[in-house]
Amino acid sequence: MNLNVSKRKNGRIYLYIEKSYRDKITGKPRKKNVKTLGYVDELEKQYSDPITHFREVARQMTLEEKSSRQITLTVDMNEDLSMNAEGSKNFGYAVPLKIYHELGLDQFLKNRSRSEKFEFNANSIMILLVISRLLSPGSKIKAYNEKSRYFERFDFSKDDVYRALTYFDKISNDLQRYLHESVRMKYECDTSIIYYDVTNYYFEIKKTDENRKRGRCKQNRKKPIIQMGLALDKKGIPLHYELFPGNCLDKQTFRSVIGEVRKKYDTGRIVVVADMGIITGDNIYYLTGNKPEKPKNGYVFSFSVRGGTKAFKSYVLDEKGYTDGSGNLLEDDADFKVKDRITYRDINVTMESGKIQKKTVYEKQVVFWSKKYYLKARAERAEMIAKAEALIARPGEFNKDTSYGAAAYVKNLEYDKKTGEILNTGKVLYINESKIAEEEKYDGYYSIVTSELGMSVADIIDTYRGLWEIEETFKITKSDLETRPVYVSEYSHINAHFLTCFVALTILRLIQQKTDGKYSTAKILECLNKIQCSHEDENIYLFNYRNEMTDTIGNAFSIDFTKKRRTLLEIKKILGNVKI
């Protein structure tokens, strides 16, 4: 309680006592008038100093209110735990739960499932799978067995969870589009730039099937994999994903995912950013159309220096034209240099008839050199050369898998096609010095090509650097969210698994965005996990974790994480408010 001393337009001073509280709907701090006192000049007839008097009254009212909330606990040091005591409950899940409901995912699932014949609560199951993926990732069985960790009423069976996965697969594309539209309306997004990349997830199985096939695993495992193509918007918020068989090449996934985004996400003209694994004539032509002077959609792609033409390599190595990025001449010890040009090149395009035709595209080529990347390339190669030298000295200790990377620098190396063992052909193994020398020429150099001829060099480089967001996103899914290993085998269940991961990832990115990118995703998840409480007495729960980060997250989402104790009713009220 506080005394409000208000000066009115007529010059008189008016007093009233107000109380601070949090709005039940918004969670924002508010104040309300609890006692009207009157004008000071009139109150002076009763009190010698009305302001001092009523400040003390407000203080006493505060003490009385606090006293009414105080209880006395009697602690029995010999008391046993009750049978089936549940331990701590998580309360940090209130944050992702709030975003889940702000995005209207609950209404989407409730509306869509009304016409279905099943009786389980699809929305309730989705909530469990999403918050479990964020705060306690693992199998669906693990999520089900830990459902009492939260204050939600999860009234469904283990079998219902797997039945729901089949349903989630059925509505996957619709849910992704709905999610994007909700993000656009509630959190804003920018689809003028689309980041695209491909990764894969391995399965702990020996036999392949229609979708889980052997391909180029990015973790260098000889396991069946599934490919995922993922598109993010300019802010790094997940937009759309699709799954592909493990033997599908990265470049073959592009048109399917980007086509879905273009047709059904109301993006307008887009500029797609991707790495060199995507850059093919067909994909460029698909984006830009048949008018090279006025591309329908645009691209910013990394472009291989070492794989470029002889003329392009000469351009890269020619010191003429390089500046420090601001148009200034280079100093002798410069850590960065860049140059650009507008040029044209021919690409091979597969026409509808199946025939290959050459098409001309006009591009801005940006080439830059970074000392940081130069030193990184040299250090990585030094490790591989050391490994190659060990391989030459002790070939019996290596095979095709364990010699990965180093084998490129060893001449006369051959493997047994069945076992992968290194064959003793009688030929002398030695370091390929010419290959090393050729690679060293281009250490630290990177190149980018774009259809956006009017885009500045700085914007091109900054735009391409945003692709690291998607690489970071894949790392998050594989580490923080533990998307792999996948514990389900039916394809519909596999897709549903990735859908719940996609929703969880979107929510996690929005938490990051709402807290101004102050914290890594790992730190956010660790924090939310530690916001727990334990049952202390009757309906009272004790909290034991608070720091600057909990306050920042709480303030961002108008959820009070500052109290040491709360009643069960208070906890349920907060959780009820985040669902509004």
pLDDT tens profile 121-172: 999 999 999 999 999 988 899 999 999 999 999 999 999 999 999 999 999 9
Where residue 416 falls among pLDDT bands split at 50, 70, 90? very high
pLDDT for res 105: 97
Summarize pLDDT for 462-508 with one digit per residue, the tens: 999 888 766 776 677 666 556 666 667 788 999 999 999 999 999 99
d(Cα 160, Cα 124) in Å, to the nearest integer?
11
pLDDT for res 31: 85
Q: Are 100 and 130 in contact (CB under 8 A)?
A: yes
How many helices (H) and strands (E) the chain has is answered by 19, 17
Pairing mode, if any, of strands 298-303 and 271-274?
Answer: parallel
Which residues on adjacent β-strands are paired with residue 5? 15
pLDDT for res 481: 58
Torsion angle of alpha carbons 264, 474, 554, 144, nearest 10°? 90
pLDDT for res 85: 67
pLDDT for res 478: 61
pLDDT for res 470: 67
In this predicted structure, which of 10-19, 25-34, 315-324, 415-424 has the lowest mean pLDDT?
25-34
> Taking Cα atoms as reference points, which of 556, 568, 561, 569 lies closest to residue 26?
556
d(Cα 244, Cα 194) in Å, to the nearest integer?
20
Summarize pLDDT for 525-535 with one digit per residue, the tens: 999 999 999 98
Average pLDDT over residues 542-568: 95
Q: Are 520 and 150 in contact (CB under 8 A)?
A: no
CB within 8 Å of 300: residues ≥ 6 apart: 271, 272, 273, 448, 449, 450, 452, 460, 463, 464
Average pLDDT over residues 259-263: 93
d(Cα 103, Cα 107) in Å, to the nearest integer?
9
Average pLDDT over residues 452-468: 91
d(Cα 284, Cα 298) in Å, to the nearest integer?
8
pLDDT for res 523: 92
pLDDT for res 206: 65
Where residue 378 falls among pLDDT bands split at 50, 70, 90? very high
- Give the residue with greater pLDDT, 216 vs 162: 162
Which residues on adjacent β-strands are paired with residue 361? 345
pLDDT for res 467: 83
- Give the residue with greater pLDDT, 28 vs 226: 226
Average pLDDT over residues 547-563: 95
**pLDDT at 57 exceeding the cut of 60:** yes
pLDDT for res 152: 95
> Taking Cα atoms as reference points, which of 212, 191, 194 lies closest to residue 203?
212
> What are the two backbone dihedrals, phi and then psi, of residue 323, each rounded to the nearest 5 degrees?
-130, 180
d(Cα 384, Cα 406) in Å, to the nearest integer?
5
d(Cα 313, Cα 330) in Å, to the nearest integer?
21
Summarize pLDDT for 83-116 with one digit per residue, the tens: 766 779 999 999 999 999 999 999 999 999 999 9
Which residues on adjacent β-strands are paired with residue 340? 366
Angle at alpha carbon of residue 531, lines to 530 and 536, rounded to 5°: 110
Mean pLDDT score of the chain? 89
Average pLDDT over residues 343-369: 92
**pLDDT at 212 exceeding the cut of 70:** no
**pLDDT at 24 exceeding the cut of 60:** no
Residue 541 has which token pair? 């729960």
End-to-end CA distance of the chain: 28
**pLDDT at 395 exceeding the cut of 80:** yes
d(Cα 459, Cα 455) in Å, to the nearest integer?
6
Where residue 205 falls among pLDDT bands split at 50, 70, 90? low
> What are the two backbone dihedrals, phi and then psi, of residue 543, each rounded to the nearest 5 degrees?
-105, 150
